[in-house]
Amino acid sequence: MEIPLDERIDGITPSIEQFREFSEAPDNGPVVMINLLKFKQQASDGSGTGAEAYGRYGAEALKMVQARGGHVIWMGAVGQILVGDPADDWDAAAVVQYPSRKAFLDMVTSPVYVAGHKHREAGLDRQALIACAPLPTA
């Protein structure tokens, strides 16, 4: 699989090693992605606020998630850091489930996703994206 990382943006895109590790991990069913988002005050492309630019990305990304059998479990504003470093102030959080790692990889390597990624880059100051899989049952 081709890794779509022509130019890595620190805090927004994965390193080649991170992407490779995700793509080579066992694909045994659903993967849940926890997104922690910090928006720029102003979008770097001059198109409004960072949150507005990210919203343009999110509207298109949601269609692609659903087309691959995924769905948003929850999305909302971050109110406070109860445990952890308060300096890591996040603006929003989203929990998105994909039917498989393959479905996620198919999405992020599609030409449509790559074209819309500019809005994500324009709007985000930084992000944490955490891939989660169900715990094995005994």
Q: What is the DSSP string of 80-119?
A: --SSS-TTS--SEEEEEEES-HHHHHHHHTSHHHHHHHHH
User: Is residue 14 situated within a structural domain?
Assistant: no
Place of tokens 């891939």: 131
User: Is residue 19 situated within a structural domain?
Assistant: no
pLDDT grade for 76, boundaries at 50, 70 and 90: very high
For the chain, how many structural domains are there in total?
A: 1
User: Is residue 44 situated within a structural domain?
Assistant: yes
pLDDT tens readout for residues 22-54: 999 999 899 999 999 999 999 999 989 999 999
User: Where in the sequence is the domain holding 46, given as residue range(s)?
Assistant: 28-132
Other CB atoms within 10 A of residue 90 CB:
19
CATH assignment at residue 49 = 3.30.70.100
Place of tokens 């909302």: 76
- Does the pLDDT at position 99 exceed 80? yes
Rounded CA-CA distance 1/86 in Å is 38
In the chain, the percentage of residues whose pLDDT exceeds 90 is: 69
User: Is residue 16 situated within a structural domain?
Assistant: no
User: Is residue 34 situated within a structural domain?
Assistant: yes
User: Is residue 1 situated within a structural domain?
Assistant: no
Amino acid occupying residue 113:
Y
User: Is residue 12 situated within a structural domain?
Assistant: no
**Torsion sign (Cα): 129, 115, 19, 33:** positive
**Mean pLDDT lowest among 10-19, 42-51, 112-121:** 10-19
User: Is residue 62 situated within a structural domain?
Assistant: yes
pLDDT grade for 95, boundaries at 50, 70 and 90: very high
